[in-house]
Amino acid sequence: MLDKLKYFWSKTNRWHRVIALFLLVELKVLPGGQLGFQCNDPALSHPFTGDTISWKWLMGITLFLPLVIMLIVERQCNGSEKNELNKRNALRWYKEYVYGVLINLTVIQTLKLIVGSPRPHFFDTCQPEEAITCVESEYISSYTCTKAYWLSQSDKSFPSGHTSLGLHAAVFIAYYLHRRAIGASGGSESSGRRAVWAAQAVCILSAAWCGISRIRDRRHHWWDVLAGAVIAAPILLYTIKSLCKDFCCSPSSNVEEETKPLESNCQS
């Protein structure tokens, strides 16, 4: 059996492995945990009011905005005669970015499953049977939700996936613009820098607002948001430095002269 597993593992690549782990978590093949609650805990007694930033909007922006920005920037980078090479670079970086996002999602969903932390709107959406008869600050270690829709959602507070993915996309774009966009801005260098700084500020502020909105919406505790940001940091570092090679361009193997401006731009 062990030999078969080793053989199967040798036939897979990094994409197969992270996708397989993600599916195992999403399908709840792996056992999950469940933190209990204190009766009448005010931190878990907030009403559910919805999401300022929906999961669909977050995933759409996280997956497609970096691609659009990189294609636009690389189209202008180092002249139109190098558009094809720059486009290949952008697609290569985007592929590695998506892989980083998949790692982020897998880590977040795995921790949500293992920890099983009640959300701030836990009593409103779960309505556990045990909360009806518990008294004062009695601790309930095991419970059953009575609202079917929230059976698998009320205990997924830690960590914040919105915060982690939002920060992942924002810092990735901001750093990419720092490395690649100034030389492609067209116009004066000072005006190009100001435009890049403005775009970077919008990215970072948007990520910050995403995290703050999760606390304001009572979807997460503050420590869930902090944990989401901390988790994103090393995955981002791995994505940018190891997978995307710090956004250094892949040289053309056909025309030596064509690669020199690109390589100098990567070293800026």
Query: Which positions are annotated as active-site residues?
Result: 162, 220
If we measure between CA atoms, which residue out of 238, 231, 240, 242 comes closest to residue 104?
231
Residue 21: name the closest of 111, 97, 95, 155 by CA. Answer: 111
Contact predicate 128/35, CB 8 Å: no
Q: Please report, for residues 34, 131, 223, the alpha-carbon distance to residue 41 in angstroms, rounded to integers and kept in the order given.
A: 16, 10, 17
Other C-beta atoms lying within 10 Å of the C-beta of residue 4: 8
CA distance 191 to 177: 14
3-state secondary structure 174-223: HHHHHHHCHHHCCCCHHHHHHHHHHHHHHHHHHHHHHHHHHHHCCCCCHH
